[in-house]
Amino acid sequence: MKSIYKFPATKILALPIILSVCFFASLSHAKSMSFEEQVAEILQNHPRVRAAAGTVKSLEEGLRISQKAWFPGLAVTGNMAKEDRDNINPTDDTKLNSSELKFTITQPVYDFGSKSAATTIARLQLDQGKKTLILTKQSIILEIGAAQMGVATAVEKLRYAKKSLSNLIKQTALENIKVQSGAGVSTDVLQAKVQLAGAKARLLASEGQLKTQENRYRTVFGALQNDFLKSRKLKLPVQGVPKTLEGALEIARKNNVQLQTLQDAVSLGNASLVQVKADQIWPKINLIVDQSFKKNVGGTRGRTEELTAKVQLTYNFNLGFSAVNSIDAARANYAVAQRQLDDARRLIDEAVSNAFIGYKQSLENAKLLAEQAGLSAAFLKLARKERKLGKRSLLEILSGETAEINARSDAAEADGARVTSALALLSAMGTLKQNHLILQ
């Protein structure tokens, strides 16, 4: 008779409760973290960072392997066989069961720079891996800054759109009351409704922009997203931005990680050329010690031991002169790396120059648009007073309302562009760091 085990109802009910507690505990932990802690957590556990860190770990082991190439190697060989020898007269034929155990220690003595070049290559590859890790973190820092500013700007623009819509709804209601009481004209009501429809469209666009930015924010922050912190903008990192284009270019030529990686690639090409020459042209010199234990080997009955020590020179040469082709290929790779470095220098100069121009323009643009927003607000305030005195038409008030919301939205966008353009400039120079991300 089969027995079926049934889970108690209390355990079944407890499972979703436990899952819920874990979920809300993770949310509570995320909300309790400061912005700086969030950034540090992302830079520690982001999949791209962990992948780059894993590559560094692998290259570190590769360097250790190359450094141990000068250690002696031990080879153990054993065999058992049946020997049947037909010897020349007068030696008797032999039929023996033989066995042999051989230990061989090979100590590299000299290889004309091959192993040293291999160590240099491994060290350069490790340096490239570490720089790739830095470059990965810089790209993520830039993404964090852009996501934070994008969602904060979208929140601000939505707030302005809602305020404008609320004001236009009130204005439309007032004009309706005036028409019904005989003190207003129907064309004013229609004009108010036209502006109201436009305000609703702007609100819809602002909501769509916010949703888009929130999607990006969730992608970057993941489980660490915080509804309270995401509406706050970042401070402008003026302390790390040079005042002149020449200063920015000088910093980039020294600190740009991509440029440094390509410089390592040139050194790597040179080390590879040295290694190919050592492997293809020059011999290998090794010290070899053999210790053999034999039984009934070679037709000799009984046990024997052999110990030999020798210096061995090994030279492998392809008669088709493939060594020449290998060297030419290594030289071509070295030339390619040098050309890529030269091209990267020009491209980085261009990127830094464009980023610097964009940063300076964003500062001026933000200043002008903030001034425009202030003037629009002042005009609207004064126009509303004059409207009550009969000195302003409704159309002027509605146009002023639209101009103010547009000016405020443009100013908010420009204010965000100041920060993102500064971060982009720091990234192009290769100096972008975590401490450049500070909330206002």
User: Domain limits of the chain?
Assistant: 29-436
How far is it, in rounded angstroms, from Cα 394 to Cα 187?
A: 10
Predicted local confidence at residue 82, as pLDDT: 86
Q: Over the stretch 231-264, which tens digit does the pLDDT of each residue have?
A: 889 999 988 899 999 999 999 999 999 999 999 9
Where do the DSSP E strands lie in 73-221?
Answer: 73-85, 94-110
Predicted local confidence at residue 21, as pLDDT: 45
- Nearest residue to 405 (alpha-carbon basis) of 435, 366, 379: 379
- Position of tokens 């220098």? 345
Where do the DSSP E strands lie in 188-345?
Answer: 284-295, 303-314
- Nearest residue to 288 (alpha-carbon basis) of 115, 109, 112: 109
- Provide mean pLDDT across the span 200-224: 89
What Cα–Cα distance (Å) separates residue 380 from each residue in 68, 368, 371? 78, 18, 14
How far is it, in rounded angstroms, from Cα 320 to Cα 231?
A: 70
Predicted local confidence at residue 26, as pLDDT: 44
Please state whether the peptide bond connecting residue 237 to the residue before it is cis, i.e. omega within 30 degrees of 0: no
* Beta carbons of 346 and 250 less than 8 angstroms apart: no
Which has more confidence, 140 or 19? 140
Indicate the pLDDT class of residue 390, thresholds 50, 70 and 90. confident
How far is it, in rounded angstroms, from Cα 426 to Cα 440?
A: 19
Task: Say whether 89 sits in a helix, a strand or coil.
Answer: coil
Indicate the pLDDT class of residue 342, thresholds 50, 70 and 90. very high
Residues 6 or more apart whose CB falls under 8 angstroms from that of 174 comprise: none
Provide the mean pLDDT of the chain. 85
Specify the amino acid at residue 260.
Answer: Q
How far is it, in rounded angstroms, from Cα 36 to Cα 46?
A: 15
Specify the amino acid at residue 312.
Answer: Q
Least confident span in 191-205, 330-344, 345-359: 191-205
Least confident span in 13-22, 256-265, 324-333: 13-22
- Provide mean pLDDT across the span 173-191: 67
The sign of the dihedral angle between the CA atoms of 219, 224, 225, 231 is negative
Q: What percent of the chain has pLDDT over 90?
A: 50
φ/ψ of 233, rounded to 5, equals -85, 165
CATH superfamily of 29-436: Outer membrane efflux proteins (OEP) (1.20.1600.10)
Per-residue pLDDT for 383 more than 80? Answer: yes
Q: Which residues pair with 73 in a beta bridge?
A: 106
Per-residue pLDDT for 348 more than 90? Answer: yes
Predicted local confidence at residue 178, as pLDDT: 66
- Residue 233 DSSP label: P
Predicted local confidence at residue 4, as pLDDT: 47
- Provide mean pLDDT across the span 203-223: 90
Predicted local confidence at residue 179, as pLDDT: 66
Q: Quote the crossing angle between the two packed helices 35-45 and 186-221, to the nearest 10°.
A: 50
Which has more confidence, 173 or 256? 256
The tokens describing 247, both together, are: 């200063």
Per-residue pLDDT for 335 more than 60? Answer: yes
How far is it, in rounded angstroms, from Cα 169 to Cα 167?
A: 5
Note the helical H segments in 46-108. Answer: 47-67
φ/ψ of 295, rounded to 5, equals -140, 120
Q: Over the stretch 350-365, which tens digit does the pLDDT of each residue have?
A: 999 999 999 999 999 9
* Beta carbons of 164 and 206 less than 8 angstroms apart: no
Per-residue pLDDT for 11 more than 80? Answer: no
How far is it, in rounded angstroms, from Cα 400 to Cα 377?
A: 8
How far is it, in rounded angstroms, from Cα 330 to Cα 433?
A: 37
Per-residue pLDDT for 163 more than 90? Answer: no
Per-residue pLDDT for 18 more than 60? Answer: no
Predicted local confidence at residue 395, as pLDDT: 72
Predicted local confidence at residue 24, as pLDDT: 42
pTM for this model (two decimals):
0.81
What Cα–Cα distance (Å) separates residue 43 from each residue in 133, 143, 234, 278, 429? 10, 11, 18, 42, 20
Which has more confidence, 125 or 224? 125
Per-residue pLDDT for 267 more than 80? Answer: yes
Per-residue pLDDT for 367 more than 50? Answer: yes
- Provide mean pLDDT across the span 381-407: 79
- Position of tokens 């903008």? 233
Find the Cα–Cα–Cα–Cα dihedral 367, 373, 376, 378, rounded to 10°: -90
Nearest-Å Rg of the Cα atoms of the chain is 38
Predicted local confidence at residue 14, as pLDDT: 52
Per-residue pLDDT for 25 more than 80? Answer: no
How far is it, in rounded angstroms, from Cα 299 to Cα 319?
A: 39
Q: Quote the crossing angle between the two packed helices 257-281 and 245-255, to the nearest 10°.
A: 40
Count how many residues are written for the chain.
440
